[in-house]
Structure 1
Amino acid sequence: MTLALSLFVLFYILMLAVQQYRPWVALGGAGAFLLLGKLGVYDFTLADAARAVDFNVLLMMAGMMGTVFLFIQSKMPARLAEELIAHVPDVRWAVSVLALLAGFISAFVDNVATVLMVAPVGLAIARRLKLSPVPVLIAIAVSSNLQGAATLVGDTTSILLGGFTGMNFFDFFWMEGRPGIFWSVELGALASLGVLFWLFRDQRQPVHVAVETEVEDDVPTALLLLTVGLLIAASFLPEPSGGVLHLLYTLRSGLVCMGLCLFGAARACWRSRSLKPLAETFRALDYDTLLLLFSLFILLEGVSRAGVIDAAAQLFHSAAGDEPLHLYLLLVAASVGLSAFIDNIPYVAAMLPVVQGVAALMNGGAGIEPELFYFGLLTGATLGGNLTPIGASANIAAIGILRKNSETVRTRDFLRIGVPFTLAAVLVGAGSLWLFWGI
């Protein structure tokens, strides 16, 4: 086990140190464990690695990426932003409404894509009113990052949770007779919105925005809505006993997302009488993230077979004892602190089996239901990224946009918004989760 733990720590540190090569580092780690399995050090074969990969998750992510690209190309997000801003009285309301819009979109669309949709509107408003766009875009980024945990398709970490636990789209809203994580995230969002309104309390300049953007195609919006609807419907399908139908059942969410994406791309090709839209859609996919997840599935299975996951679960159980509240607070606090500085995708991927293991050790070894701890992990890991400029991809994307527009972003500028925003969202979100699930 020592060898496996050392290898995992080494590859994890490398993923943090050379982030531009994270997928290849993770793939190298997966290859290292496969080699150890081949040499007989661990019981880990190529067939085991293939079974460890959750192709449903990968197909779902790829399909959503493509549909979101078509959605952005239709200019519907810009139109929605203009429609909303045209009805607000001043800048503080404009920023709050943009943050709300970014949060709503990111509950169904990747956080970085959400920033790319909404940020140009924030830039235009700031320039028109001769304001610094820095706090405006930071507010958009942290809001989009917050809401990613609200639904199954809102963020990579949510998709990972759904794939690992078998949760469906509806479970994020209502599960086992209790409110799902969606409602806790929304309560946290309302608390953080109050923080934004207070931070921008002095910005009372009137806003006058004309609704000028013309939506070029309504179908991508319909496809995005249809994707959500079919994911909900697919969650009610009965599980077949075996055979091809069972295979299709295990891939149902991914097939829905990928099928609608391909339909949208094919339709765009038919309208333009060329294959260019299909090529553009495939270029828009985030292959780095897809390769990273593919590699992490294999790497973490190798680590698990070496006994590292069980040891980590024992460690958490020793630290928290047999009290669920202690474990819950430990998971949320650790996730917030770590996700402020490290990418939450590999962190959540590594911690999900640990949480499962430690929940099984609770109650004197009889085990307790792990849902509360899964939701606590996701809440802390998603919201914790808003503490620092490097804690979430959405933050990095917003800062990149600002720098491309010759704006200087100081760390204190981000912390002034990120810290109170995160504290309010975490306290309310995690507190409500405990009220729903822990008592």
Structure 2
Amino acid sequence: MGHGGHSAESTVGGLIEAFHLHLSKAELAELSVLLFILTYAMILLEKFFHRTIAALIGASLVLVIGVITPEKAWEAIDQNTILLLFGMMNIVTVMGKSGFFNLVAAKAVQITKGSPTRVLWVFSLLTALFSAFLDNVTTVLFMAPVMINIAEKLKLNPIPYLIAIVLASNTGGTATLIGDPPNIIIGSIAGKTFNDFLKEVAPYAILAFILGLIVMHLMMAKGGFLKAQATAEELEEILSGKVDESLLDRKLMKKSVGVFLVTILLFIVGHQIGLEPGVVALFMATVLALISGLSPAWILEKVEWTTLIFFMGLFMVVGALEVNGVFEVAAKWLIEAIGNNIHEGIILVGFVSAVISGFVDNIPFTMSMAYVLKGMEMQMGSVMDPLWWALSLGACLGGNLTLIGASANIVTADIAERNGYKINFFTFMKYGTPVAAVTVITAILLFYVEHAVFGGL
């Protein structure tokens, strides 16, 4: 075993190097899996550890023990995700300061006539639509403050409504090339176009969204969350739609909404001109900080640093899995299991991707899996095309399984916490897991039937 150790030495550092321990590639992989599970256990034990501290402990341990070098750990952080989050948080902060969300909430309450069921359906639909053309994170950064505002006005518990929005954003994002990071990765590695996704994935994503919303509706009705809580007089006052003018800064609102709209436009055309969403968000946030007249210190204090640092820590822990070939092993195992049976492959790739994406950030997983499928494509040709779509459906819809399955989930939980509402791991799972189960099983089985029975191949 010692012979394998030397080739792996370049990727190790920390105590492993200090004590000249020669670990084989397999041993390093096992160690990184162990540290990943430990980090996960701490995230689950949120009574004792804040999730950001848990991710930082995990990141520190992979570095101190040395299963990943600081350079590799830094590379493992998905800079696009971090820049995108950072930029959009700044833009949304300024929009919030201008009173924009109060205004939107007041108008939305009028449209839904204050009915909790309508609030659930209208907002889930809006979120899914936004998510198809923006990334889910931008969408929830924008929608969560509005949702909290409405729920408080109508005296409703915001938590289930916030979870409903996140689930809708993850499902809606599945439909297009730019809606969800796994799709962007599949698009670039497999050379798939916007129209390919609309044709192959969108029909299943739309169906999954409707089914997921029905499941959510039934669970919320059962929990008594869809009963109106405001009295008739209170409702009448809310519906009059008067917004306190002292809360609005119209000039700042024009600037911030203008910048927000330009940002969205640049997200949509960014792919053609080679601009990553993270770069666009950072640039536009800087422009807004420049023209807003607000103190940069004030804007930066409002950034959800705990969320950003949580992701950086988690990316490092997952990076250790990646550097030590854990995803490669998983992917090779999948290929051996599939053999030449593409139809069986649809089921395997779809469900395995969904389960793994519920527990690790789906970005690094999708990337490893996409390279493996690329290798398969070289051997098998376009006959394995359906596997790309199975990967997309599994990786995107699986993000609803747990609180850590998708970036949007964590971001929303942090916004809720800032407003005094705690969405913990198990509260999220109570709603997310059934929705994920129904949507993943339906979408992948229907996709399988289309290809295996009706010869979609």
Find the aligned partners of 1:135 and 1:369 in 2 and give their Cα distance. Answer: 42
Render the CA deviation track for 1:139-164: whole Å, top value 9, x for unaligned: 3343344334455665xxx3365357
- Is the contact between residue 5 and residue 303 of structure 1 (CA under 8 Å) also seen in structure 2? yes
| 1:285-335 per-position Cα deviation (integer Å, ceiling 9, x unaligned) | 84314523663685355224xxx4443322112223322232222233234
Map 1:305-316 → 2, pairs under 5 A: 308-316=326-334
Alignment of 1:230 with 2:266, yes or no, is yes
> Is 1:425 matched with 2:439?
yes
Quick one: distance in 1 between partners of 2:111 and 2:437?
Answer: 30
Helix, strand or coil: the match of 1:120?
helix
Matches for 1:224-373 after TM superposition, within 5 Å: 224-237=260-273, 252-268=276-292, 271-272=293-294, 274-280=295-301, 286-292=307-313, 295=316, 299=320, 302-304=323-325, 308-340=326-358, 342=359, 344-345=360-361, 347-358=362-373, 360-361=375-376, 365-366=379-380, 368=382, 372-373=386-387
SS at match of 1:179: helix
Partner Cα distance (1:140, 1:226) in 2: 24
Are the structure 2 counterparts of residues 374 and 18 from structure 1 closer, same or farther at C-alpha, using a change threshold of 3 Å? farther
- Distance, in Å, in 2 between the alignment partners of 1:378 and 1:50 is 26
- Unpaired segments ≥5 residues, structure 2: 1-24, 44-52
| Alignment check: 8 A CA contact 2:35 2:317 kept | no
Q: In the TM superposition, what whole-angstrom CA distance separates every residue of 1:338-396 from its partner, at most 9, and x where no partner exists?
A: 555x3x41x54135313431552369x43558775455344334433545667667667
Displacement of 1:86: 1.0
Q: Secondary structure at the match of 1:254?
A: helix
Query: Given that residues 71 and 220 in structure 1 are in contact (C-alpha distance below 8 angstroms), is that contact kept between their aligned partners in structure 2?
Result: yes
- State the alpha-carbon separation in 2 of the partners of residues 283 and 164 from structure 1: 29
Residue 221 of structure 1 and its aligned partner are, at CA, apart by 2.6
Structure 1 residues 135 and 373 mapped into 2: Cα distance closer, same or farther (>3 Å)? same
- The answer for the alignment partner of 2:213 in structure 1 is 193
Aligned to 1:25: 58
Alignment of 1:4-403 (within 5 A): 4-19=28-43, 20-23=53-56, 25-26=58-59, 28-29=61-62, 32-34=66-68, 55-89=79-113, 90-107=115-132, 108=134, 109-110=136-137, 113-114=141-142, 116-127=144-155, 135-150=160-175, 158-159=180-181, 162=184, 166=188, 173-175=194-196, 179=199, 181-182=201-202, 184-196=204-216, 200=221, 208=236, 209-210=238-239, 211-213=241-243, 216=249, 217-237=253-273, 252-268=276-292, 271-272=293-294, 274-280=295-301, 286-292=307-313, 295=316, 299=320, 302-304=323-325, 308-340=326-358, 342=359, 344-345=360-361, 347-358=362-373, 360-361=375-376, 365-366=379-380, 368=382, 372-387=386-401, 397=412, 401=416
C-alpha contact 1:386 1:419 (8 A) present in aligned 2: yes
Distance of 2:365 and 2:435 partners within structure 1: 27
Bigger mean CA deviation after superposition, 377-386 or 48-57: 48-57
Cα distance in 1 for residues equivalent to 2:218 and 2:144: 25
SS of the aligned residue for 2:340 comes to coil
Superimposed CA distance per residue, residues 7-62 of structure 1 (whole angstroms, 9 cap, x where no aligned partner): 22122112212333324524653672455xxxxxxxxx95x777776644543443
Equivalenced residue count is 398
SS in 2 for 1:86: helix
- % same residue: 22
Q: Is the 8 A contact 1:106 1:144 kept in 2?
A: yes
Distance 1:390 1:212, change over 3 A: farther
Where 1:380 maps in the other structure, the secondary structure is helix
Q: Provide the aligned C-alpha RMSD in A.
A: 4.5
Q: Structure 1 residue 180: deviation in Å?
A: 6.1
Q: CA deviation at 1:172?
A: 7.4
Distance of 1:424 and 1:17 partners within structure 2 = 26
Q: For residues 94-115 of structure 1, what are the alpha-carbon distances to aligned partners after superposition, in whole Å with 9 as ceiling and x for unaligned?
A: 3212322343455535166356
> CA separation in 2, counterparts of 1:408 and 1:391?
14
